[in-house]
Chains A and B, each alone.
Chain A
């Protein structure tokens, strides 16, 4: 199997950037070695697929719009009716989901090589992300564990809230480098650290 390479290339520069002298507002980190899989249920099989995802991941996913869970490197969240992002640091994730979700229940698509996962963490994460995405990042509107599908500059992004000040962004791999630079520009004001 081909060795996965980061899409960020030379744009990934570890260290402190922007107005870091005033403190570190957010930390940016590319989550590597992940399997990213989309599972889609048929209309009448959503409860069965949610149960199958829970059995494979060990995460109990509520069956309501945008709901999800995360624990360590594992994440699950809904982003459309009957559609779920499933993420884990396990190379056999797709295989295990395929075994659990037969065609009668839904479909499984491996997005690992099509997405870049970026973790944004820090007290200014809501502020910085609000510059890019026209959604409400406050915790009452975007609770912990929940996911969102939205746009920045007409480019699709999936976002999950991991905790009070941490978000995981899943962007198209082909746009990941330019998005990373855009994210850096947005974060420069508050100072940011790349790890």
Chain B
């Protein structure tokens, strides 16, 4: 599988580390809803088809990416920096 890193260009999957499902929504940190937290930590949909996921380009520019990949065919329809996604922290921003 080839992932086209927005900075490095097309690279073999051996350079990347899978970082998990990018569709999860963290419950309100103040919430004590155990069912919601259990679902956030453990439940995965595992769809056959398009899936948004985090990948780390650990063997290249070391940026976190959001990859949309077809779970059945491995065809990748989009790749972008995770930091550019609304609602996520921007790596490289000053603390």
Query: Per a CB cutoff under 8 Å, which of A81, A83, A154 touches B59?
Result: A154
A10 proximal to B (CB < 8 A): no
B60 and A149 contacting across the interface, CB-CB below 8 Å: yes
Q: Report Cα–Cα, A80/B5, bound state, in Å.
A: 11
Interface CB pairs A-B, < 8 A, 27:
A41-B92, A42-B93, A43-B90, A43-B92, A65-B7, A66-B7, A66-B8, A79-B61, A80-B7, A80-B60, A81-B7, A81-B61, A81-B92, A82-B92, A134-B11, A134-B15, A135-B11, A148-B8, A148-B60, A149-B8, A149-B59, A150-B8, A150-B11, A150-B15, A151-B59, A151-B60, A156-B59
Residues of chain B at interface, number, CB under 8 A: 17
Q: CB within 8 Å of B: which residues of A? A: 41-43, 65-66, 79-83, 134-135, 141, 148-151, 154, 156
Q: Could you list which residues of chain B lie within 8 angstroms of chain A, going by C-beta atoms?
A: 7-9, 11-12, 14-15, 59-63, 81, 90, 92-94
Assess whether A150 is in contact with B59, with CB atoms less than 8 Å apart.
yes
Cβ contact within 8 Å between B94 and A42: yes
